[in-house]
A and B are shown apart, each in its own frame.
Chain A
Amino acid sequence: MAPYTNIPLSPAELSYLHTSLSSTPAIRPDGRRPTDFRTLTAESDILPSANGSARICFADGTEAVVGVKAEIEKSSKSIVRHVAHGEDGQEHSDESKGHGEDAWLQISVDVPGLRDDDALPVFLAAMVSEALLADGELKNRLYINSRFHWRLYVDVLLLSPPLSYPLPLLSLTIHLALLNTRLPALVSQGDEDPLFNDDWAAATPLYPHHNNKNPPITLLVMAVGGNAFYDPSREELAVADAVLAISVTRLQSSSSLQIVSIRTVDPPSRLTASGVPKDLIAGNASANAMEARVRREKDEGMAVWRPPRGGLKRALIAQITKNVLSDGVVNDILDALVKVNG
């Protein structure tokens, strides 16, 4: 992801933030607990002409609108043959409803001031669709019969220029829009040309309410020292040791959670300038450049700010993933979004 280099913080401020975030208990600049989210405004079903739509506004002023549109498309020949083969073969049982293809879901992200083919929008679209396709649930719902399928277009509009990583915003808005999405009810049966009920009130939701299964959401979790934080703000990201983008979905049978994908995100903290120890600048001209560099490398206790290097400890990743599944934050978010949809 294209990094944000314009961090308006000095090495001293960065060091202060890092120290307070890595102390136990951690102190966040806005007084939140590590698991707290900032307030957000969400509304769904804002566009009558789309199959599903949602708008979410985050506390830092970033805002996204998502419109979902579905179109009928003829499946290519290869699928027809594949299905015919499956019907006289043995693997019929769980394949009859499982013929989704990744290409049936198309996501585009529109960021103001950036071109369509810039790195950021393309990367964001790929990352979001990766999570949505990971559990195979969505694409299988787009299957109508062996000759036809739905093509789902998910168009994301960011209304404000991105201040920090807009991934959670996009993911939550897409989640809400997909919950809100309805497809016309099918009247025809089997492999006939599909015919639909033209009554919109009879349309079936893409994710039925009685069914506990939800589209996955992607959250950013930031690690500083031994602490992990949800929903990091821009200032917090500036001192992150590591940032993980974790996609979580809720299983149908029980209400237990499942991680569908994890990615590490290059934090903007790596681009910050490191500080210089006081005794190296205050009139002590004897120290040469070589010595200064050695001193800086050996500065284990982080007396001055130094951009984080290297990766994340494996134990910490394990800890974070375990917490994401068990601490109830994700369940709270999913429940809240279901309530928004009404």
Chain B
Amino acid sequence: MEYVSPEGLRLDGRRPMEMRQIRGEIGAVAKADGSAVFEMGNTKVIAAVYGPREVQNRSQQISDQALVRCEYSMANFSTGDRMRRPKGDRRSTEISLVIRQTMEACIMTHLMPRSQIDIFVQVLQADGGTRSACINAATLALADAGIPMRDLVTSCSAGYLNSTPLLDLNYVEDSAGGPDVTVGILAKMDKVTLLQMDAKLPMDIFENVMQLATEGCKAVAQCIQEVLLENSKKLEYQRGP
């Protein structure tokens, strides 16, 4: 199948190096300590953060750092065809783990010993790149909860189809079975915290594709910073002089 037309346009009309429209919003769940909605094109994710709070299960308590837990779930109605998704299946367990490890890398857990931070991510609409969107939403929610972090983690994916590196794959491109590189970086420190790839790629092309994904992450970071700044201004305004 042709994923890039001779004119250099993708199936949804984007250029190979173009991202989908991204949008972040803080404070979606009233009850949570921090929450956010993050959209990348048609992918829509809602994240809620509770904590730092007392550890619920005492046997899991860590004496010198905080315990970070993450639960990823996908709504039954999130995909094109409705699918019944039992809780705790293999895929959601794996993505929960990926998100947890990525977020743990940026949270300053040593400042909050003997406490627990819960991150709930819920996919409302899935159109490729759900794990990137989840990580971005979780970052926003953690920042909203005021949890100390080393840096903002942002994530973006890139693929390689029709001998062209493509940024931010949507569902159709993702299910083409080609290589799919998901990168998570600490934006300012320029460090990689997550790197996942399906399928195979030659080394020199992989570097190009990863470079592209990293550029995407930086663009996302800029967007997230703007959202946070906007939110801080709003809070300052609400507090009054």
Interface residues of A (CB under 8 A from B): 46-50, 53, 57, 61-63, 65, 67-69, 71, 108, 110, 112, 115-116, 153, 155, 157, 159-160
Contacts of B71 in A (CB 8 A): 112
Cα distance A49–B48 in the bound complex, in angstroms: 22
Q: Which of A61, A63, A155 contacts B75 (CB 8 A)?
A: A155
Residues of chain A within 8 A of B86, CB atoms compared: 116
Q: Contact: A62 with B31, CB < 8 Å?
A: yes
Residue contact B76 to A67, C-beta cutoff 8 Å: yes
Partner of B125, one of A48, A68, A108: A48
- The reply on B108 being an interface residue by CB < 8 A is no
Of all chain B residues, the one with the shortest Cβ separation from A49 is: B125
Q: How far is the CB of A24 from chain B (nearest CB, A)?
A: 34
Whether B160 is near chain A, meaning CB under 8 Å from some CB there, is no
B56's nearest neighbour on chain A, judged by CB, is: A113
Residues on the B chain within 8 Å of A115, using CB: 87
Q: How many chain B residues have a CB neighbour from A under 8 Å?
A: 26
Please count the residue pairs between chain A and chain B whose beta carbons lie under 8 angstroms apart in the complex.
Answer: 66
A residues near B76, Cβ cutoff 8 Å: 67, 69, 108, 110, 153, 155
Q: Report whether B30 and A61 are in contact in the complex, using a CB–CB cutoff of 8 Å.
A: yes
Is B61 close to A, CB under 8 A? no
Nearest chain A residue, comparing its CB with the CB of B82: A69
Chain B residue numbers with a CB within 8 Å of A57 are 30
Selected A-B contacts with CB under 8 Å, 7 pairs? A47-B44, A47-B77, A49-B42, A69-B77, A153-B76, A155-B76, A160-B48
CA distance A157 to B45 in the complex (A): 13
Contact status of A157 and B122, CB under 8 A, knowing A71-B82, A108-B76: yes
A63 close to B42 (CB less than 8 A): no
Complex contact A67–B29 (CB within 8 A): no
Tell yes or no: B32 within 8 A of A by CB. yes
Is there a chain A Cβ closer than 8 Å to B102's Cβ?
A: no
Instruction: With A50-B77, A69-B77, A108-B76 as known contacts, state yes or no: A63 contacts B31, CB within 8 Å.
Output: yes
Residues of A within 8 A of B81 (CB): 71
A49's partner among B31, B80, B122 (CB-CB below 8 A) is B80
